[in-house]
Amino acid sequence: MIHVTTTINGDETEFVCDPRETLLDVLRDRLSLTGAKEGCGTGDCGACSVTVDGTVVCSCLVLGAEAEGKEIGTVEGIATGEDLHPIQQKFLDHAALQCGICTPGILVATKALLEKHPDPTETQVRYWLAGNLCRCTGYDKIIRAVMDAAKDMRSAA
Amino acid sequence: MAFDEAKKDFNLIGTRPARPDGIDKVTGRAQFGADKAAPGQLHAAILRSPHAHARIKSIDTSAAEKAKGVKGIVTRADFATGLKGEMWNKLENVMAGEKALYDGHAIAAVAATSALAAKDALKLIKVDFEVLDHVTNVDESMKDGAPVIREGAAGPSTPEGMHPNVVGFYSSGHGDVDAGFADADLVIEDTFTTEATHQGYIEPHACLAQMGKDGKGEVWCCTQGHFNVAKVCGHLLGTEASQIRVTASEIGGGFGGKTEVFIEPVALALAKKTNRPVKLVMSRSEVFRASGPTASASMDIKIGMKKDGTMTAGRGVFRLQGGAFPGAPGTFTAMCAFAPYALENVSQEAYDVMTNRPKQAAYRAPGSPMAAFAVESVVDELCNQLGLDPIEVRLKNASREGSKASFGINWPRIGLVECLEAAKAHPHYSTAIPENGGRGVSCGFWFNHGGETAVSLALAEDGTVSLSVGTPDIGGSRASMCMMAAEELGIKYDDIRTTIADTATLGYNEISHGSRVTYASGLATIEAARDTIKKLCKRAAAKWGIDEDAVYWEDGFAKPSGPNAGEFEPMSLAKIASKMGATGGPIVGHYEATPEGAGVSFAVHIVDAEVDKETGSTSVGRYTVIQDAGKAIHPSYVEGQFQGGAAQGIGWALNEEYIYGEDGRLQNAGFLDYRIPVASDLPMIDTVIVEVPNPGHPYGVRGVGETSICPPLAAIANAVSNAAGVRMKSLPMSPPRILKALDEA
């Protein structure tokens, strides 16, 4: 077993894990942070998206041990207290989720997109989110929610 | 039951409030199948057959039992014996008996102290297989000499003298099709094929189970039908349904694929054997190999048409491959095929064929999309060759109220003509077709379903409402239920909380399938609210000392029904509720029924596609869905169903297919190789909600979840064929298939 010290959503966190365990396994099974989902375990669906030092990754492709000394961000850290982040609110306003299993990963990816590109085109949004599979919505309402959130965040900035 | 007149003046219905489960789902708090843990739980893993067809001569688990962390192993010997019919089929699929019937068929399962330990132990189980010849193609499976999956599986409908793999047959029709063809100016006859696809829900099957020696069990799982899980588990474990309490988790997509039971009985058997809670989660490759993809199909279609566009006759023969068990939806395929057309002469027949593949499951309108692909392709070709407008031809021949359906009934009030008129009027249809592009149009049809339904509605003393329904929420239905209850009771949307009750808390509810939830649970919710209102009026009448018939309910208040009833201050729901303990006890409304008035739904899709003739790749340019919803309760979620079905249809038409190797093994059991549409593949999907009320629902609701996947295969095939200048007869229209068709043209 490996001992790891890391920061998750701003909180210093320690855990032990098997060298074969992924960051996703650790988040879900050892730290009870079940917001990130395992849709495939092979980096194809994006449901387990988290940020590691600000970069979006599939946490199923990162080993738990690799979290040592890193800053991890998950869907549980997007809202501030009881205040939803604008992208969370826009997903509700636009009915941009049906089952909601892909939503945590898409929100993590969207937050990173808008931090980097506050004024994305529709095509940019579609390609940025191409690694996050959604099977329910056909993406239409998701894209609209992201574009609308970007607009609001720009005018608030 | 028929409702004489659908309610029309609404306060809430047709608005778009935020869904009640929304905050949980955007903050990561919502608990899906794999998100729950129990103290002391074990993790399970399933050993699966690497062979498409093999006799299981022996299973040696001794080495695995001694492995570190292993607490228990089950095989078929740990399940009920003596099952018959469909329950035997279900057990045989959940855990193989004498033979492995497909690549991925479960052979044994291990519970261990960690998921890694369980997976490691699988490698220590020794299975002695005698590999048998296999067949995975529907047409091959019907031929003399094809390997027999199982003798004696054929149902009574199967004609004599057919291969034992043909297990079901259906035929219907009317008129004289040969005379109809003789009457036509042009007759086109062709053969079409579609491949098996998967629903592709992003959440793999997952459950957490506990069971004691006394046969009492608890299951938490992602399912479209937890009451059905209890029933099936009861049979397969040799106990009773009521001893197994099943709670439906949040469900990460289903589309029909989570109507079946795969892992819950295995987790229960392991829990019983180890006396520990057991968590079992499928991997993605297990989902592809061993859950329920669609049937694949091979179809012969012949249609005659006059120069003016009148269709004179239609004939279809449908052969559906449904995996290693009976149940391919050939009957639905045949019934849906010509449903959009009022044909004087029509005949259709279907064969249900077994192969060495996983048992097919429903995937939104099972059987209908492939039928529409075949029939609507021929209709499009007839229009092209006769120089006719595809929407005008469909309007000319459209099924409408009173016309005789291809499968025999006389149509009640239906909305196909309204959908076609809306399509014709839509700006999409009058814009120029892009250069190098093609436009495709198609109709689609699905029956929709009612089914056993029970709902309970309890008042709290503060005037708020707890609504319990038994149909898992697969697309935002809790929002619709809150809206319908609030509409009836005259209280605020936010004052109602809808819960998916577990199997011990509510009467039996059929699975969330057949587009039935907003229709049937919605109807039951409205009736339960009306039952509650009667009880509220009775309390007010008692308080006022007047007859209860002299009290009526309006906008959240009990009121005396006129000057003769007396002068009383209207009493709000909250006021009556606050005193209910002292005025007769808790107020609970309920409704139980098997509503049979589900209204069918038709749709028309228009799509523009461009084909790159060098690479064979297709891009979808503009897409419009027009569908009859009867009455849209929450329009955003109706649109969402339209868009989602269209997107899945685009995947089915262009990319998705189960690819089996010569060895009978599935070669693309992952999202990298089984590629579903991603955000950059798709355009915005425009929607038009047509509302032709269903007389079988108090507000006119028709189910909308399934019809949306019926037209897209055909609409895209027509667009691609028109763009490429060659008729595409096999799905998916992947680049190699398009290049081959262009080559051969």
For residue range B235-284, what is the model confidence (pLDDT) as tens digits?
A: 999 999 999 999 999 999 999 999 999 999 999 999 999 999 999 999 99
Q: What is the mean pLDDT of residues B446-468?
A: 98
Using an 8 Å CB-CB cutoff, list chain B residues near A94.
Answer: 636
Q: Look at the alpha carbons of B195, B298, A137, B204 in this order and tell me if their dihedral is positive or negative.
A: negative
For residue A138, give Cα distances in angstroms to A44, A143, B361, B427, B688. 17, 10, 22, 21, 16
DSSP track, B372-428: HHHHHHHHHHHHHHHT--HHHHHHHHB--TTSBPTTSPBP-S--HHHHHHHHHHSHH
Instruction: With beta carbons less than 8 A apart as the criterion, state whether B695 and B413 touch.
Output: yes
Flag if A129 and B22 touch (Cβ within 8 Å).
Answer: no
- pLDDT higher than threshold 80 for residue B4: no
Tell me the C-alpha distance between B397 and B399, whole Å: 7
Query: How close is the nearest chain A Cα to the Cα of B585, in Å?
Result: 37
Flag if A35 and B28 touch (Cβ within 8 Å).
Answer: yes
Beta bridge pairs of residue B190: B301
Which among B30, B252, B640 is the nearest to A141, CB-wise? B640
Instruction: With beta carbons less than 8 A apart as the criterion, state whether A59 and A119 touch.
Output: no
| pLDDT at position B2 | 61
Flag if B201 and A135 touch (Cβ within 8 Å).
Answer: yes
Flag if B682 and A138 touch (Cβ within 8 Å).
Answer: yes
Q: Which of A92, A99, A110 should we substitute to test contact with B (largest number of B Cβ atoms within 10 Å)?
A: A99
Using an 8 Å CB-CB cutoff, list chain A residues near B32.
Answer: 34, 37, 101
> For strand B346-353 and strand B278-281, is the pairing parallel, antiparallel, or unpaired?
unpaired
Tell me the C-alpha distance between B19 and A103, whole Å: 14
Using an 8 Å CB-CB cutoff, list chain A residues near B656.
Answer: none
Flag if A37 and B252 touch (Cβ within 8 Å).
Answer: yes
Flag if B284 and A79 touch (Cβ within 8 Å).
Answer: no
| pLDDT at position B554 | 96
| pLDDT at position B563 | 84
Q: Which of B36, B202, B643 should we substitute to test contact with A (largest number of A Cβ atoms within 10 Å)?
A: B202
Which residues have C-beta within 8 Å of that of residue B299, sequence separation ≥ 6? Answer: B191, B192, B193, B316, B317, B318, B319, B333, B370, B371, B374
Using an 8 Å CB-CB cutoff, list chain B residues near A102.
Answer: 202, 252
For residue range A21-62, what is the model confidence (pLDDT) as tens digits?
A: 999 999 999 999 999 999 999 999 999 999 999 999 999 999
Q: Hey, what's the torsion of the CAs at B432, B436, B441, B446, to 10 degrees?
A: -140
Other residues' Cβ atoms within 10 Å of the Cβ of residue A10: 10
B579 shares contact with chain A (CB less than 8 Å): no
**Strands of the A71-73 sheet, one edge to the other:** A11-17, A2-8, A71-73, A49-52, A55-58
Burial zone of B433 (CB within 10 Å; 0-12 exposed, 13-18 middle, 19+ buried):
middle
B18-44 as b/e: b if 16+ CB within 10 A: bbbbbbebbbbbbebbbbbebeebbbb
Instruction: With beta carbons less than 8 A apart as the criterion, state whether B205 and A101 touch.
Output: no
Query: How close is the nearest chain B Cα to the Cα of A92, in Å?
Result: 6
Considering only CA atoms, which of B453, B521, B431 is closest in space to residue B483?
B521
Confidence of residue B745 (pLDDT cuts 50, 70, 90): confident
List, in order of start, the domains of chain B with CATH numbers: 22-30+450-593 (3.30.365.10), 411-443+599-744 (3.30.365.10)
Count Cα neighbours of B89 within 13 Å in the Cβ-side half-sphere.
17
Q: Which of B26, B283, B287, B637 should we substitute to test contact with A (largest number of A Cβ atoms within 10 Å)?
A: B26
Confidence of residue B7 (pLDDT cuts 50, 70, 90): confident
Which among B23, B26, B32 is the nearest to A37, CB-wise? B32
Cα B414 to the chain's mean position, in Å? Answer: 21
Nearest chain B residue to A79 by CA: give it. Answer: B27
CA geometry: angle at B160 spanning B155 and B165, to 5°?
55
CA geometry: angle at B216 spanning B211 and B222, to 5°?
65
Using an 8 Å CB-CB cutoff, list chain B residues near A100.
Answer: 21, 25-26, 30, 250, 252
Contacts 24+ apart (CB under 8 A), B536-540: B536/B573, B536/B576, B536/B587, B538/B584, B539/B576, B539/B579, B539/B580, B539/B583, B539/B584, B539/B587, B540/B568, B540/B571, B540/B576
The pair phi, psi for residue B175, each rounded to 5°, is 80, -165
- pLDDT higher than threshold 90 for residue B472: yes
Element (H, E) at B369: helix B368-386
| pLDDT at position B213 | 87
Using an 8 Å CB-CB cutoff, list chain A residues near B682.
Answer: 126, 138-140
Element (H, E) at A95: none
Q: How many CB pairs under 8 A join A and B?
A: 183
- What count of residues does chain B have? 745
Using an 8 Å CB-CB cutoff, list chain B residues near A93.
Answer: 18
Averaged pLDDT of chain B: 97
Q: List B residues 708-727 in contact with A (Cβ-Cβ < 8 A).
A: none
SS3 percent helix, strand, coil of chain A, rounded to 5, is 45, 20, 40
Tokens coding A72: 């991890």
Query: How close is the nearest chain A Cα to the Cα of B663, in Å?
Result: 24
- pLDDT higher than threshold 80 for residue A78: yes
Flag if B284 and A40 touch (Cβ within 8 Å).
Answer: yes
Q: Which of B25, B280, B650 should we substitute to test contact with A (largest number of A Cβ atoms within 10 Å)?
A: B25
Which among A18, A32, A139 is the nearest to B679, CB-wise? A139
Tell me the C-alpha distance between A49 and B251, whole Å: 19
Residue with tokens 């199948």: B33
Helix, strand or coil, per DSSP, at residue B39: coil
Using an 8 Å CB-CB cutoff, list chain B residues near A40.
Answer: 284, 670-671
Residue with tokens 């099943």: B246
Write the Ramachandran bin of B332: left for phi over 0, alpha for psi from -120 to 50, otherwise beta.
alpha
Query: How close is the nearest chain A Cα to the Cα of B249, in Å?
Result: 11
For residue range B487-542, what is the model confidence (pLDDT) as tens digits?
A: 999 999 999 999 999 999 999 999 999 999 999 999 999 999 999 999 999 999 99
Tell me the C-alpha distance between A109 and A129, whole Å: 7
Q: List B residues 675-704 in contact with A (Cβ-Cβ < 8 A).
A: 676-680, 682, 684-685
Residue B32 DSSP class: B
Which among B199, B202, B678 is the nearest to A101, CB-wise? B202
Other residues' Cβ atoms within 10 Å of the Cβ of residue B683: 19
Interface confidence, given as ipTM, is: 0.99
DSSP track, B534-601: HHHHHHHHHHHTS-GGGEEEETTEEEESSGGG-----EEHHHHHHTTTTTTS--EEEEEE----PPPE
Tell me the C-alpha distance between A103 and A48, whole Å: 10
B624 shares contact with chain A (CB less than 8 Å): no
Query: How close is the nearest chain A Cα to the Cα of B576, in Å?
Result: 34
Using an 8 Å CB-CB cutoff, list chain A residues near B685.
Answer: 138, 140
Using an 8 Å CB-CB cutoff, list chain A residues near B255.
Answer: 135
- What count of residues does chain A have? 157
Considering only CA atoms, which of B150, B66, B55 is closest in space to residue B107?
B55
B494 shares contact with chain A (CB less than 8 Å): no
Flag if B35 and A133 touch (Cβ within 8 Å).
Answer: no
What is the C-alpha R_g of chain A?
Answer: 15
B182 shares contact with chain A (CB less than 8 Å): no
Residue A24 DSSP class: H
List, in order of start, the domains of chain A with CATH numbers: 2-77 (3.10.20.30), 86-156 (1.10.150.120)
Instruction: With beta carbons less than 8 A apart as the criterion, state whether B518 and B704 touch.
Output: yes
B648 shares contact with chain A (CB less than 8 Å): yes
Which among A78, A91, A138 is the nearest to B644, CB-wise? A138
Instruction: With beta carbons less than 8 A apart as the criterion, state whether B417 and B394 touch.
Output: no
CA geometry: angle at B632 spanning B626 and B636, to 5°?
80
Tell me the C-alpha distance between A87 and A140, whole Å: 15
Confidence of residue B5 (pLDDT cuts 50, 70, 90): low
Which among B475, B634, B685 is the nearest to A138, CB-wise? B685
| pLDDT at position B562 | 85
Q: Look at the alpha carbons of B670, B674, B678, B684 in this order and tell me if their dihedral is positive or negative.
A: negative
Element (H, E) at B738: helix B735-744
Residue A131 DSSP class: G
State the alpha helices, DSSP H only, in B255-296: 264-274, 284-290
Q: What is the mean pLDDT of residues B551-578?
A: 95
Query: How close is the nearest chain B Cα to the Cα of A45, in Å?
Result: 7
B483 shares contact with chain A (CB less than 8 Å): no
Residue B243 DSSP class: G
The pair phi, psi for residue B498, each rounded to 5°, is -100, 130
Which residues have C-beta within 8 Å of that of residue B213, sequence separation ≥ 6? Answer: B272, B275
